[in-house]
Amino acid sequence: MKLPVPLKASNGLFLFLIFLLLLGFSASAFDGAAGRPEGGGVLTVRLEGTITAMSHELVAEALAYAEGKGETVVLLIDTPGGMMDATFKIVELIERSSVPVVGYVHPAGGKAWSAGTYILMATHVAAMSPHTIIGSCQPVSFDPLGGGSKPVEDSKVVNAMEKYLVERAKAHGRNEETARRFITENLNLDVDEALEAGVIEVKAESLGELLEKIDGMQVEVGGRALTLKTAGVPVEEWNPSFRVKILGFISEPMVAYLLLIVGLYGLIFGLASPGVGGEVLGAFLLILGLIGLGVTGANLGAIILMIVGLVLLLAELLTPGFGIMGGTGFACVFIGSFLLFPGGWTVESEWLNMLYTVLMVVPLAVGGFFVFAAYKVVEARRRKPFQAGVVGEEAEAEGEITPEKGGFVRFKGELWKAGSRVKIAGGSRVKIVGKEGPTLIVEPVEERG
């Protein structure tokens, strides 16, 4: 019985991988060939909730877009804090940006605690809405046995963080002593106190008022003195890509932690009880948890997801039914394909629409192919085996058949080697009672009448 499906599936997967590589190279080529900034305009980016790996990806793709169009970026900050690593990466993005970045604690009643203050101090212009608060920058660590968070008292860490924040304030001419107190005393300031202390430049009740007040202000961006032109210019709100929305969900600390724990226990259970599918789902959830916690990073995690997905889809072809491995493999490829490509591009929107269409159609098409291929494999495996199909049928002896030498029978027009426990005369009707390799085991058919 021929089973060419796995080979075809392997060829299809190889072509799919080549397609993704070519797509990545073409995207890089478009990115490098894009035009220079068109100039003008303001891009607002909402930096809300806990600062996670998603926050870094959000700012990265928004800045890439703004740099392509020469727009001023306004970060609308309202956060209780977040991950230190993600915060450092966002600060690095701001400091390496080629366009001005304005930090605005907004709306009224919002806050920029801890990580939010670090980000605000790194922006070229710092502003706050009425009744907003900044401060409380002492680093904390997660302490599950102690009931949650625990302040970091290690002088090595505290001194390093203090110097880091002071240098951000110093770079933009802000009050260094107040910046130091944000960490050493967990100082908190409202908008009027922050303005008086010299850690922000602008108080504004709305985005429109902010843009009017900072218009004409001079800032230093990448070693160049720039004059802000924000009054009366088009204002665009950044809409996160589907990639960032996925990261936003799995990067929430509670979600990421649950994915990690459930995935780990699922993997252990699956390895202890193979065949149930726990190891497959466990590995999938574990990878998502690592991506959400920022351990692997979005791009590396996406590559791992796609490799695992392709392996699972191949393994599905070797097992009956399109079940847990096939479904999980498809999910890995589908999610990995979105996480693999960054959301910020400097190309035409039509090309980006085509790219995201491809990212949706290709996994669905490949998934459909594997459903069809798996169905064919199952169909082939459910066919009645040849041995079971011939047992009980009758044939005709071609010459004499003896227990010592055997003989031959003609079955449905084909000549088969035959064996028998008794002597059978040539031309007699025989009944097939078994099959040993290429030899049919026969016995004489009793005479009727």
Amino acid of residue 76: L
> Can you tell me the distance from the alpha carbon of 301 to that of 152, in angstroms, rounded to the nearest whole number?
30
Catalytic residue among 156, 384, 405, 412: 156
Banded model confidence at residue 376, pLDDT cuts 50, 70, 90: low
> Can you tell me the distance from the alpha carbon of 365 to that of 357, in angstroms, rounded to the nearest whole number?
12
Q: Find the mean pLDDT for residues 52-69.
A: 89
Highest mean pLDDT among 24-38, 367-381, 383-397, 402-416: 402-416
Q: What is the pLDDT of residue 235?
A: 95
Q: Is the dihedral of CA 291, 295, 299, 303 positive or negative?
A: negative
Q: What is the pLDDT of residue 384?
A: 52
Long-range contacts of 30-34 (CB under 8 A, 24+ apart): 30/345, 30/347, 30/351, 31/345, 31/346, 31/347, 34/68, 34/345, 34/346, 34/347
- Which residue(s) pair with 419 in the sheet? 441
Q: Find the mean pLDDT for residues 355-370.
A: 57
Percent with pLDDT over 70 in the chain: 71
- Whole-prediction pTM: 0.60
Backbone angles phi, psi at 190, to 5 degrees: -85, -175
Listed in sequence order, the residues at least 6 apart from 438 whose beta carbon sits closer than 8 Å to its beta carbon are 416, 417
Q: Could you report the per-residue pLDDT of 75-96, keeping only the tens digit for each?
A: 999 999 888 888 999 999 999 9
Banded model confidence at residue 320, pLDDT cuts 50, 70, 90: low
Q: What is the pLDDT of residue 289?
A: 80
All domains in the chain, ordered by first residue: 38-239 (3.90.226.10), 243-381 (no CATH), 387-444 (2.40.50.140)
Return mean pLDDT, the chain.
Answer: 78
Q: What is the pLDDT of residue 22?
A: 42
Tell me which of 21-30, 250-259, 435-444 is least confident. 21-30
Q: Does the pLDDT value for residue 449 go beyond 70?
A: no
Q: Could you report the per-residue pLDDT of 292-308, keeping only the tens digit for each?
A: 776 666 667 777 777 77
Q: Could you report the per-residue pLDDT of 14-56, keeping only the tens digit for each?
A: 444 444 444 443 443 334 333 333 457 999 999 998 888 788 8
Catalytic residue among 55, 97, 111, 114: 114
Q: Does the pLDDT value for residue 443 go beyond 70?
A: yes
Q: Could you report the per-residue pLDDT of 181-194, keeping only the tens digit for each?
A: 999 999 999 999 99
Q: Does the pLDDT value for residue 424 go beyond 50?
A: yes
52 near 244, Cβ under 8 Å? Answer: no
- Does 337 qualify as catalytic in the annotation? no
Residue 155 vs residue 134, higher pLDDT: 134
Q: What is the pLDDT of residue 263?
A: 80
- Does 136 qualify as catalytic in the annotation? no
Q: Find the mean pLDDT for residues 118-126.
A: 97
Q: Does the pLDDT value for residue 145 go beyond 50?
A: no
Banded model confidence at residue 244, pLDDT cuts 50, 70, 90: confident
> Can you tell me the distance from the alpha carbon of 352 to that of 370, in angstroms, rounded to the nearest whole number?
27
